[in-house]
Structure formats: C-alpha cells, structure tokens
Amino acid sequence: MLQTTKENFIYKTFIVISVLICPIVVMAPLGSWVPLAIAALSCSLFNKSIYKKKFILETPKVIFIAFFWIIISTIFIEKNFLILEKVFSFIILILLSLIIINTNINSSSLKKTISVFSISFIFSATLIIVDSKINLGLKLWLSKNYDFSNFESFYELKDWIGFSDFRKNNFSQIISYNNTTYSRGIISLTVLALPLSLLCFHHNKKLLAYVVLIFNFLLAFLSSSLTVILLFFILFFFGIFFYFKNALLKKYLLWFLGIYFLSCPFILGKLDYKKFSEYENQLFNKKNSLFTKYCGEQIKDVPVLNRERYSLFLYCNAYNTDRLVNFSILFQDENSIEKMRIFVKYNLYNTISNKLHRLMIWSYVKEKILEKPLIGHGFFSSRNIDNKLRKTQRGTKFQLIPLHPHNSILQIWLELGIVGIIIFFSFIKFILDKIFYYVQINRSVATIAFITFFQVFTIGQISFGFWQSWWLAIISITLILYKYVFICFKSHVLQSDSLD
C-alpha cells in the first residue's frame, strides 16, 4: 500500500512538470526553474535513496569540485558575501535537479507522462507560432494584466484590460514585442524536442513523435532568429558526421574542445574594444557605399541620416520597397547577378554591424581574463566588472559587459579562471564519454544525444549567461529526459538479446 502511494505521488509530480514546464518556458521563461524545484522537493519526501551515501557516490565528483571552487572563489577571490546568495541558489538548483534524475518511475507512468509532456509541448509551440505570426499579443496582454513582480499589490484588485481593446490600442507595440519575446521559448523547446520525440517513439506513440518533430522544425524556420535557423543546419551536419564517423570524433573531439577552451579568449577577443567607434564608422561607410550603388541617382532623395536609419530596410525612392531585404525581388531587375552580389555583401556587413557590440564585449573580456588568468575575478562577477553606459561617435549606447559576456567559456574564464575551465572541461568529458559509450548500444539514439549536446553547447557560446537559473533548469530537464531515453532503449536492446 505504501509503495503504491509512493509511486502515485511521484507519478503525479512528474505529470506536474510535464504540464507546466513548456507553457512556463514560453510565457514566463525566467520561471522555468519553479516546477523543477517544486517537483524535486515533492520527490524528496518519498525518494529516501537521496539521503543515502549511494546518492553522493553516484553523483559525478566534478559537480562537487565545482561547488567547492565556486564557494572558494566567492569568499576568498571576489570577497563579496552578497554573492553567496547566488552561490547557494546555484548549488540548490543543481541538487534539486539531481534529486529528480535519481528518482525513478515505472514504465506505464513514464508512458503517460511523456504523452502529457508532448501535448504540452505541441500546445506551447502552437501558441508561439500563432502569436508571433498573426501578432495576437497574448503574451504581452497577460504581462500587462498580471504584474507578478509587484508583490505588494499582487492580491489587490486591478483594472482589467480587455484582450480586444488591448490588441486594438497596442498593435504596433505587439509587433515590436513579438520580434524577440519568444527567443528563449523557441530555443528551450527545440532543445527539449529531440529527447521527447525519442521517448515517444520508444513507447509506440509515433504520431506524437512526428508532430513534436514537425513543430520543432516549424519553430526553427518560422522564428525570426537567423541563429536558430543556422544552428538547425549545423546540427544536422554534425549529426550525420557523428553517425558515420563517431570513432573519429571520439578520438579528436576532446582535443579540439580543449584547444578551443584554452584559445577562446584570443580567438573571440581578437578585435580592440577601444576602436568600437572606428569599426562602426567603417561598417557604416561600406554599407552606405552599397546603398549608393544599389539606388544610383535616387540616393539623393534619401537624407544621409536616414540612410543609417534605413540600414535594415534599404528604402529606395525609385522602387518604394525594401529590395535589398527581399531576395526574390532581386531577379526582377536588370543586372541580377550584380544585385545578388550587393545583396549578399550588404547583409554580411549588416550582420557584422549587429554583432559588433558582442565582439567588443569579447575583446574587453579577454583583457580582463589576462589580468587574473589562473583564478578569475570571482563567481558572478561579470555584471559588476564594468557596467557603465557608454556611447560611440555615432551615438550607439553600449556597456562593455552587459550582465554577462554572452559566451559560457569566456564567462568561466573571466569568473573562475583556468581552474574553472579545467573543471568545466572535465564535466564535458564526462557527458561525452556517456554518449560515446552508448554508441555501442544504439548508434541512432547516441547520435540524437550528441546533437542535443552540441546544440546546448553552441547556444552557450553565443547567447545566455552560464549561471542563469532558467537555462540551467532547461538543461536539467533535458538530462532527465535523456536518462529515461538511455534506460528505455538499453532495456529494449537487452530484451531483444534475451529473445535471441
């Protein structure tokens, strides 16, 4: 009886995660850790194994070494005791994730959980696609009506804004808001999609598996993020390479990653952040030159100031349309080859312009890394090193480090030094060893796991802060899903072998 109660409670806990995590990732991504924490605390009531010595012994030692170095870094290097709150939050989140990873549910409960998770995924993906493509404004409307940050008046009656009135009066704001508001949700769902579809396939829910994969594809290609689309193709290429050449990757991948970890500051920080204005002026002049070549005499009708304003749209009076952004229109003009050359070159310069600030951040971070290369500046120190607001000659406002370096390797270098880099590399090696070991059991599943690993790793090199709790929660949930992927497919192989 007690065992049945325990299993039912744990099953319901996993159902809660499955129902909540995807909608929260989409509508309030910063709270992605909340269902994970609640579920872990609930599981800890019934999963007594976490209080045993075995739990500690089975946890990778590199995690405890990381905890130790982060605490030492905060107390003796950064000497900022206020950061200890962040330290303990990070440690608690990781430990809560380990509790769920070490909590098991039976096969029938897992099957139901995966179904609920998949339906939740499909619903959340549909919400993103519908809201972003027809500018429904649902997320912005909810954020206006529910001010969760205002805890003092949270339970007070508020003036309710009707959805139709809100959409009518704020349509332009909705369009602007929808351009970027779902970036975290899209990336999170695409990370979760592959292990989720694998579990659906294993439990003979092929329709759900295919629908999840289709929505994953749609999220990648219907998003406005070029990064997501390019990453999709890169991952596809690496997946094929891993499937056919995994022995070669096993031999050289860690060497490649080791070289990248050590040389990352020098590769990414190659430019000089002190020349930001100079770089910006050079790029503007090159884009303006292409603008002139494209529009010809009509350039006289566009004020110089507006040429930069229209740099993303390239308005030209002669055509009254955004021709350099619309690829198909290029073929309607004479000299189409020349138009294509200008199109490609302009968009290259435009991409560099958009990412120039990021390159300046990495240049400054390299300089700060070289000040303390061995031990770093201290855990969570990135946001306090230099957050002063500056301006370039062209009036672009920027910070040398806005919250974090937007690259996980550089952030670890900066905050924890080469000691932190060695610890993180050891953790990466632990994950890759697990994936390469699984090649012997199921090459296809191992390939999908490698794609997810590379996906998460690549996102970490161009985007989110390494210690952000919501991103760590998504990674933790992905690891939980892969735990069951490996268990399910391994047991399937063992059953097949026993039948033979």
297-330: per-residue pLDDT in tens? Answer: 555 555 554 444 444 334 443 333 344 444 444 4
User: Does the pLDDT at position 268 exceed 60?
Assistant: yes
pLDDT score of 296: 60
Residue 328 lies in a domain: yes
Residue 280 lies in a domain: yes
Question: Rounded distance, CA 42 to CA 207, Å?
Answer: 32
**Percent of the chain whose predicted confidence (pLDDT) is above 70:** 81
- In this structure, the dihedral spanned by the alpha carbons of residues 220, 205, 40 and 74, taken in order and rounded to 10 degrees, is -30
**Percent of the chain whose predicted confidence (pLDDT) is above 90:** 45
pLDDT score of 407: 94
59 or 143: which carries more pLDDT confidence?
Answer: 59
Q: Among 434, 465, 466, which residue's Cα sits nearest to residue 450?
A: 434
Q: Among 426, 396, 420, which residue's Cα sits nearest to residue 408?
A: 420
111 or 166: which carries more pLDDT confidence?
Answer: 111
Residue 366 lies in a domain: yes
Residue 213 lies in a domain: no
Sequence-ordered alpha helix ranges (H) in 203-303: 206-222, 226-268, 276-295
32 or 180: which carries more pLDDT confidence?
Answer: 32
Are the beta carbons of 323 and 330 closer than 8 angstroms? yes
Give 266's Cβ-side CA count (13 Å radius).
7
Query: Among 166-170, 226-230, 293-297, 320-324, where is mean pLDDT lowest?
Result: 320-324
Q: Among 242, 227, 241, which residue's Cα sits nearest to residue 190?
A: 227
| 299 contacts: CB under 8 Å, gap ≥ 6 | 291, 292, 307, 316
pLDDT score of 83: 87
| 137 contacts: CB under 8 Å, gap ≥ 6 | 131, 166, 167, 170, 171, 174, 177, 178
Six token digits for residue 227: 């990064």
pLDDT score of 500: 45
What Cα–Cα distance (Å) separates residue 436 from each residue in 65, 101, 327, 364, 447?
24, 20, 42, 37, 9
pLDDT score of 271: 94
pLDDT score of 491: 65
Are the beta carbons of 368 and 413 closer than 8 angstroms? no
Six token digits for residue 375: 């031990």
Alpha-carbon 220 to chain mean position: 13
Q: Among 128, 147, 124, 146, which residue's Cα sits nearest to residue 136?
A: 128
User: Does the pLDDT at position 224 exceed 80?
Assistant: no
Number of domains in the chain: 1
The most confident of 146-160, 209-223, 260-274, by mean pLDDT? 260-274
3-state secondary structure of 386: coil
Alpha-carbon 424 to chain mean position: 18
φ/ψ of 391, rounded to 5, equals -135, 145
Beta strand 390-391 pairing with 397-398? antiparallel
pLDDT score of 322: 41
Element (H, E) at 430: helix 408-438
Tens of pLDDT along 387-427? 888 999 888 898 999 889 999 999 999 999 999 999 999 99
Q: How many other C-beta atoms lie within 10 A of the C-beta of residue 9?
A: 14
Q: What is the pTM of this model?
A: 0.87
Query: Among 133-137, 254-258, 312-316, where is mean pLDDT lowest?
Result: 312-316
Residue 310 lies in a domain: yes
Q: How many other C-beta atoms lie within 10 A of the C-beta of residue 452?
A: 26
Question: Rounded distance, CA 362 to CA 268, Å?
Answer: 6
Domain that holds residue 359: 225-467
User: Does the pLDDT at position 204 exceed 60?
Assistant: yes
Query: What band does 264 get if pLDDT is binned at 50, 70 and 90?
Result: very high
Q: How many other C-beta atoms lie within 10 A of the C-beta of residue 27?
A: 20
Element (H, E) at 390: strand 390-391
Residue 39 lies in a domain: no
217 or 308: which carries more pLDDT confidence?
Answer: 217
Are the beta carbons of 142 and 27 closer than 8 angstroms? yes
Tens of pLDDT along 343-391? 778 778 878 888 899 999 999 999 999 999 999 999 999 988 888 889 9
| 310 contacts: CB under 8 Å, gap ≥ 6 | 302
| 456 contacts: CB under 8 Å, gap ≥ 6 | 191, 475, 478
pLDDT score of 348: 81
Question: Rounded distance, CA 183 to CA 223, Å?
Answer: 8
Six token digits for residue 204: 């003979």
- Residue-wise over 390-399: b if at least 16 C-beta within 10 A, else e? eebeeeeebb
User: Does the pLDDT at position 7 exceed 80?
Assistant: no
Residue 472 lies in a domain: no
User: Does the pLDDT at position 259 exceed 90?
Assistant: yes
User: Does the pLDDT at position 256 exceed 90?
Assistant: yes
Residue 493 lies in a domain: no
Are the beta carbons of 435 and 446 closer than 8 angstroms? yes
User: Does the pLDDT at position 73 exceed 50?
Assistant: yes
Q: What is the residue-averaged pLDDT of the chain?
A: 82
